[in-house]
């Protein structure tokens, strides 16, 4: 188990994502289990098909949330402003994706354009179901790879083994190691700048609604 710690504990979020998208699913699942058994934290984003970062609204207590829920008009205003923020930022993310990655049907091989895969998600508190508790975004996994500049022939430093659609075992070409973000596949940080631009507005919305409310941004940004 100590060997697992030595080989896995230093993996970055980007390297975990690289493994997630290149390894055969069942083998990746075993890798995650080994890491967790060794006491190594595995980024939450690697456990889903599409990447879905989110912003959580942190509050002091459930009692405070209940008290706020009694002011119906204030809650409605807060929810509406959050929903409008989500719609606006989602539209800008789609626009940024269209400008950064023009769709090429021949090269995409039937894959959905990144811009069309981007969606905003508004979730309400589970207990009272009246107040927005988180705002998230989901997009196709190739949005993460484009962020890092990874693709065929432009791998990271790990290398991996996976099974193709015909059942054949494939491995990362050693010639591609360390080429992620180089050549024609430059890393394009299309997601983080848009969020950083608009987060101050969301922070103001939260503060105007409740001075004790804060934004939990853990796991929101793609590692740069």
For residues 160 and 22, the answer to whether their CB atoms sit within 8 Å is yes
pLDDT at residue 199, as a whole number: 97
pLDDT digits (tens, 9 = 90+) for 23-45: 777 888 888 888 888 888 777 66
Do 138 and 163 lie in a common domain? Answer: no
Q: Please compute the mean of the pLDDT values over residues 46-51 and round it to a whole number.
A: 62
Do 112 and 32 lie in a common domain? Answer: no
Do 144 and 94 lie in a common domain? Answer: yes
Q: Which of 7-11, 196-200, 216-220 has the highest mean pLDDT?
A: 196-200
Do 26 and 118 lie in a common domain? Answer: no
Look at residue 4 and tell me whether its pLDDT is greater than 60.
Answer: no
Please work out, in degrees rounded to the nearest 5, the angle formed at the alpha carbon of residue 217 by the alpha carbons of 136 and 52.
Answer: 30
Do 100 and 191 lie in a common domain? Answer: yes
Do 215 and 195 lie in a common domain? Answer: yes
Look at residue 130 and tell me whether its pLDDT is greater than 60.
Answer: yes
Domain total of the chain:
2
Domain, as residue range, for 22 = 1-46+154-181
For residues 158 and 18, the answer to whether their CB atoms sit within 8 Å is yes
Do 117 and 214 lie in a common domain? Answer: yes
Do 98 and 14 lie in a common domain? Answer: no
pLDDT at residue 150, as a whole number: 64
pLDDT at residue 62, as a whole number: 82
Q: How far apart are CA 77 and CA 130, in angstroms?
A: 12
For residues 220 and 55, the answer to whether their CB atoms sit within 8 Å is yes
Range in 65-69, 82-86, 131-135, 201-205 the model is least confident about: 65-69
Do 101 and 200 lie in a common domain? Answer: yes
Do 36 and 54 lie in a common domain? Answer: no
For residues 102 and 188, the answer to whether their CB atoms sit within 8 Å is no
CB contact burial 193-206 (16+ within 10 A = b; e otherwise): ebbeebbeebeebb
CA 86 to centroid of chain Cα atoms: 15
Do 115 and 206 lie in a common domain? Answer: yes
Do 124 and 193 lie in a common domain? Answer: yes
pLDDT digits (tens, 9 = 90+) for 137-168: 999 878 888 887 765 444 444 444 444 455 56
Q: CATH no. for residue 64? A: 3.30.70
Q: How far apart are CA 126 and CA 34, in angstroms?
A: 32
């Amino acid at each position: 188990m100590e060997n697992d710690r030595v080989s896995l504990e230093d993996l970055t979020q980007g390297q975990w994502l690289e493994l997630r998208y290149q390894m055969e699913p069942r083998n990746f699942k075993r890798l995650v289990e080994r890491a967790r058994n060794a006491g190594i934290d595995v980024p939450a984003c690697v456990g889903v098909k599409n990447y879905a970062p989110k912003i959580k609204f942190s509050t002091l207590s459930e009692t405070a949330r209940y008290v706020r829920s009694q002011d119906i008009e204030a809650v409605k205003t807060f929810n509406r402003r959050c929903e409008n923020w989500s719609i606006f930022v989602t539209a800008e993310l789609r626009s940024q994706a269209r400008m950064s990655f023009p769709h090429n049907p021949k090269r995409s091989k039937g894959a959905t354009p990144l811009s069309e895969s981007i969606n905003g998600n508004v979730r309400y508190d589970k207990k009272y179901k009246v107040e927005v508790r988180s705002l998230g975004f989901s997009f196709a996994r190739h949005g993460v790879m484009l962020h890092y500049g990874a693709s065929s022939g432009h791998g990271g430093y790990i290398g991996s083994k996976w099974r193709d659609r015909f059942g054949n075992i494939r491995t990362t070409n050693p010639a591609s190691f360390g080429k992620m973000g180089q050549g024609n596949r430059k890393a394009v940080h299309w997601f983080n700048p848009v969020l950083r631009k608009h987060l101050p507005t969301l922070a103001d919305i939260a503060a105007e609604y409740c001075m004790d409310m804060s934004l939990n941004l853990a796991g929101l940004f793609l590692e740069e």
